[in-house]
Amino acid sequence: MDGNDLLARVMWFIPVLLSLTVHEWAHAWTAWKLGDDTARLMGRLSLNPLVHMDPIGTFLLPLMGVPFGWAKPVPVNPLRFRRDVTVRGGMLLVAVAGPISNVCIALVSWLLLFVLVRTVPVGDHPELESVIQLLVILVAINIGLAMFNMIPIPPLDGSKVVDALVPDSARPAWNQFCALGPVLLIAVILLPQLTGFSPIGEAINAVLRLVLSTL
């Protein structure tokens, strides 16, 4: 591994670590605001990346150049929600908090990019190239994390959203689908490797191209 390759992987790793940390913190913070202090008592209501890191998903894979990762899931006990918060409503809010945090990071990064590109002659300031590259990576990673996590396959956040909204009459069928969650998720991850085509990746790239075209 040469120096440029190492630098590229570090520049990828830092945004991944930041984005996953904020994502899990958002879950913990929302649950705490709704009355569940389980995550806080376990030290997960923190922006310290170390408390959220998964050795493989947060550290090893990103440094190896794998374009995705994960952190340790935040524990949530809906029975500890405030009395005015329903279990379904509370779990829905906790679930969407993570992807919303990624959308916020992508938006802030895009705004900074917009200001830099529109106000600073970047060609005259080559030292800004790394900053711009880092911001583009932040936009890409967080758009990807938000969209990927909203896929309704357990244990992704999207499945928790569906779980909170599915009517009781459809719950048996939904539960059967959830039992296949791990297999389906592995299939989604392996599909691009086996076929060379990734519908999810194409969707994420389309949104990313649209966002970056506004700069």
Share of the chain above pLDDT 90, in %: 59
Catalytic residue positions, numbered: 24
In the predicted structure, residue 32 carries a pLDDT above the cut 60 = yes
**In this predicted structure, what is the pLDDT of residue 195?**
82
How many distinct structural domains can be found in the chain? 1
Predicted TM-score (pTM) of this structure: 0.90
CA-only gyration radius of the chain, Å: 19
Q: For residue 154, what are the domain limits? A: 3-212
- DSSP assignments along 44-110, one per residue: -SS--GGGT--IIIIIIHHHTT-S----PPPP--GGGS-TTS-HHHHHHHHHHHHHHHHHHHHHHHH
Q: What is the mean pLDDT of the chain?
A: 89
> For 189-204, how does the pLDDT look when each residue is reduced to its tens digit (9 = 90+)?
788 778 877 787 888 8
In the predicted structure, residue 95 carries a pLDDT above the cut 80 = yes
Per-residue pLDDT, averaged over 56-84, amounts to 83
**In this predicted structure, what is the pLDDT of residue 120?**
83
CB 55 within 8 A of CB 5: no
pLDDT range class, residue 67, cuts 50, 70, 90 = low
Amino acid making up residue 132: I
> For 107-151, how does the pLDDT look when each residue is reduced to its tens digit (9 = 90+)?
999 999 999 988 888 777 777 888 888 999 999 999 999 998 999
d(CA 149, CA 204): 12
> Which secondary-structure segment (H or E) carries 15?
helix 3-33
Compute φ and ψ for 83, nearest 5 degrees: -65, -25
